[in-house]
Chain A
């Protein structure tokens, strides 16, 4: 019995972590789907989200308000970064953009370092004991983070399926030239995609900072590897695949750490990734979206 509870508990932790990874992975995969290059500066959006929230809290805002404002600010900031650094290179193919994004990542990370210092920081999150139901423990903070992550993913789902922008994004993602011929202003779609992608990144950053304090300016870069593996696992460019991929990665890391060996957490995520790439290279979601 105790062991069964332990297994369920481990799965639960995996799902909670996976839900935060999922928000990050969806943002990354959306931007890839539309722009066709992988944004290595994406991790810095997570960091910027967390540090902007921290800055706003320091200015006297309550955490929920600070979090929302930070997410919006970074959403707009992400679009600016894309316009300044990526748009001028957009017709040069994926590789120059990719290399540029690595440079942008270094610049952003070091700007955060210069502004906020390298020491560990934290948001004012209340420390709480867990709720215990049938031997299972769920911390209110974790529950809150999970709900926020689900809401974020649901919003993206509704956006993609129920709005004109979503349709345009899917069309652009499917075949940019065809979308353009059909009268879609793909440049506008790309800009809005950057906004949504940056918002998702900032949300993931704030959730990560709330759930696992303390954090440093390297938090986003460190987390990027996990986000990448979830994105690839789900089939790059496919938002629903990324969500599933993230949950699988979260659960794999949790179960591997708990039942195999504690010192190789990342390895479990990558082991699953390698297996999927070997046997189902289009990603677990397969097909379109």
Chain B
């Protein structure tokens, strides 16, 4: 057997590592694997393949909505949470005669959470399927399809893209029914700085640890700048590599700055490792985590000694929707339609699709349903002080009677600003052993 030299060995190893890494990247790798993958269950399962036409009306539909989201790969849970809600609403519209007598069809575009795949999927939706409205995409791929959207004048409503990169680009074609991370970041800082919201103390020395993935980094600047604006001191801002096996050195560096509380923006798995490393290094301060970790799955990854008393933030439901029982109704409807609880972004989807379809009704009322007329009507159907409506059917009847409407959603009033962004209230949560309890609500007006 020939004995390879060191040189051939190293060459072969290098080539193979690259091959292996390419394979690994293709399959989504594991390091940054997303945490919330179980959040929505598999409610999106139906037999149609990604980018195939779904829904009742198929490709013959008169009006088409494209759902541009990851349906495969490590972020497949986003598609699995959003698509069934979209389908539930569209089915209901079609069962009641469609929009202006026309059937509404759904087409899926699988972004795979990568920019390349999202561009191909978006091109197909725009040029081949000729959709009239796009629901999606996520923060991970928005920058890749932004130009395509704007050049073709496709109205887009994203229920899932919080990225700060979209803060000043929307308003004409691009809208979102999820608050920007800028607002989420301000909410975190406000909650940490004020005992009124966190129920513990006015923390003044905060450490900030952010994973070096784009979706996480989006929070960094808003949290840091607003915490300083509210009079606090950021003891250290530390970007860490996601998906590592250990974080002792990072934690050791952070603890040297003596924070009273550490705000941790990361995936649940990395966060669990970091918080455990800090506990094992003797850290006795508190933690504040973001929506990704403020769930039961995250608490199952860490011991109660660590999680007891930590704080987290989630989007709060619109108080008026809660009071009127609309949240409860929505949960029951989704369960009846899909067999599982609504997951993350489900409520945002409900609002986004309702607004989009009401804009179609308004466009039909004005003359014709085109991409342009839908885009123009999106902000107006959700704008006060017109008649408040909370469902599609209520809004569609009002518009048919010639009344202007103001859609009020599950996540908030959904009044778009000039950049197509909404504000929504946030809930401050505190972990108590194995569950999260809401301890305060932070209204959008306070931010």
Contacts and interface: CB of A to CB of B under 8 A. Distances in A.
Interface of A is mostly: helix
Contact of A254 (B241, B249, B282): B249
Contact of B29 (A14, A102, A129, A218): A218
Contacts of A208: 245
Contact of B1 (A106, A120, A130, A176): A176
A137 interface: yes
A216 B23 contact: no
The interface size bin for chain A is: 35 or more
B253 A262 contact: yes
Nearest to A140: B280
A93 B246 contact: no
A13 B252 contact: yes
Nearest to B268: A120
Interface in A32-74: 36, 38, 40
Given A118-B33, A216-B269, A277-B10, A265 B20 contact: no
Interface in A235-263: 236, 253-255, 257-258, 261-263
B143 interface: no
A34 to B, nearest CB: 12
Contacts of B249: 10, 13-14, 253-255, 257-258, 262, 265
Interface in B1-27: 1-4, 6, 8-10, 12-13, 16-17, 19-20, 23-24
Contacts, number: 143
Interface stretch (A146-154, A163-171, A219-227): A219-227
B241 A264 contact: yes
B244 interface: yes
Interface string B347-368: 0000000000000000000000
A48 to B, nearest CB: 15
A144 interface: no
Interface in B160-197: none
B281 to A, nearest CB: 6
Contacts of B38: 119
A133 B386 CA distance: 69
Contact of A95 (B1, B12, B37, B297): B12
Interface of B is mostly: helix
Interface residues of B, number: 51
Contacts of B12: 38, 94-95, 98
B33 A214 contact: no
Contacts of B325: none
Given A119-B38, A222-B31, A262 B10 contact: no
Contact of B9 (A139, A221, A236): A236
A211 interface: yes
B238 interface: yes
A211 B241 contact: no
A127 interface: yes
B238 A127 contact: no
Contact of B13 (A36, A38, A281): A38
B305 A257 contact: no
B279 interface: yes
B385 interface: no
A17 interface: yes
Given A127-B305, A139-B280, A120 B245 contact: no
Nearest to A236: B9
B220 to A, nearest CB: 12
Interface of A: 2, 6, 9-10, 13-14, 16-17, 36, 38, 40, 90-91, 93-95, 98-99, 102, 105-106, 118-120, 122, 127-130, 132, 137, 139, 141-142, 176, 208, 211-219, 221-223, 225, 228, 232, 236, 253-255, 257-258, 261-266, 277, 281-282
